[in-house]
Amino acid sequence: MSMTLPHFADAESFRAWRSASSRWLPIALDIVRSHGVDVSAPHVFATGTNLVVGLSDRLILKIFPPLLRAQFVSERGSLTQLAGRLHLPIPEIVAEGERDDWPYLIITRLAGTLGSEVWPQLAEAQKERVLRQIGETIASVQRAPFGPLAQIQPRWDDFMRAQMLGCKARHTRLGLAPKFLAGLDDLLRDAPKLIPMDAPPVILIGEYIPENFLLACRDDQWSLAGLFDFGDVLTGWRDYDLLGPSAFMAAGRPGRVRNLLEGFGYAKLDFALKRRLMALMLLHRASDLNSHVCIEGWQEKADNLVELQDLIWPG
């Protein structure tokens, strides 16, 4: 077989090719050998966006196709800039390079259990504890200086305006109920006033969700043990990073919401904050309320966007 990585015109054709690891694993292992790393027990990760291979229990290789080079720039820049600045472990870069215009990173593999495997079974008090730690971690990341991440595009104001322009069409296409679509025009009209467009930006990871962090248990207490996947980093208004844990983890439970926000630094949950978070949730680059709001029966429990924001962020 060819030991050359191909080029793809679009993401769909890349995903189809990636699905058969036999096409690319020999090249990945050749890359690893070139850095003197043991390849005796490789493990291909089937999920994710790029080519990802576990190398024993110590290292991971991530190969980025040229059409996703921006994710490499984001990941490399984030790991470099946040190294030593967080209380939580993140991967360290061991080696980097390019093969056939495909950039790659060899990074350390973190210890712990994937959050998505543990979260559903945690007791309520444990979930509140973890959400407080997530809020604290978001705040910690946002205190770090930008460094090279300041150059990541798009800029926050450009990103938000583009999201506002496409918001109604997006949610109509995704099947958001008419009773919620009816309130979109008012919310989008207010969005430029609700969301700071030119305030000092911070580092935004974009996806603080159970698939992107690790948990560990000690003395019957579960805690955050690691954070990974920095391929979608941008810079902008701080509240944007509250949306992932709000949608996927807080589930409209007052104790969970309170712990997340207090960990982040918000002592008060008022109408203005709820309204801003509702706007940002609808404007998020991955927004799809039908798939992402983890509150059972939420479509029947709210009749408009104001009632929905009270359901997602009670208190």
Q: Report the candidate in 50, 27, 51 with the shortest Cα–Cα distance to residue 39.
A: 27
pLDDT at 57: 85
Confidence of residue 285 (pLDDT cuts 50, 70, 90): very high
pLDDT at 2: 57
* % of the chain residues with pLDDT over 70: 99
Mean pLDDT of 290-302: 96
Is residue 279 within 8 Å of residue 309, measured between CB atoms?
no
The token pair at 168 is 């109604």
pLDDT of 300 over the 80 cut: yes
pLDDT tens digits, residue range 132-164? 999 999 999 999 999 889 889 999 999 999 999
Q: Report the candidate in 19, 104, 118, 124 with the shortest Cα–Cα distance to residue 59.
A: 104
Q: Comparing 57 with 307, which gets the higher pLDDT?
A: 307
Q: Read off the pTM.
A: 0.93
pLDDT of 266 over the 80 cut: yes
The token pair at 197 is 């467009």
Mean pLDDT of 266-275: 96
Is residue 278 within 8 Å of residue 165, measured between CB atoms?
no
pLDDT at 46: 83
The token pair at 291 is 């798939």
User: Distance between CA atoms of 169 and 181, rounded to whole angstroms?
Assistant: 10
Average pLDDT, the chain: 95
Q: Provide the residue count of the chain.
A: 315
pLDDT of 1 over the 80 cut: no
pLDDT at 164: 97
- Within 13 Å of residue 147, how many CA atoms lie on the same side as its CB? 17
Mean pLDDT of 280-305: 96
Mean pLDDT of 193-205: 94
Cα–Cα separations (whole angstroms), residue 308 to 246, 252, 275: 13, 10, 10
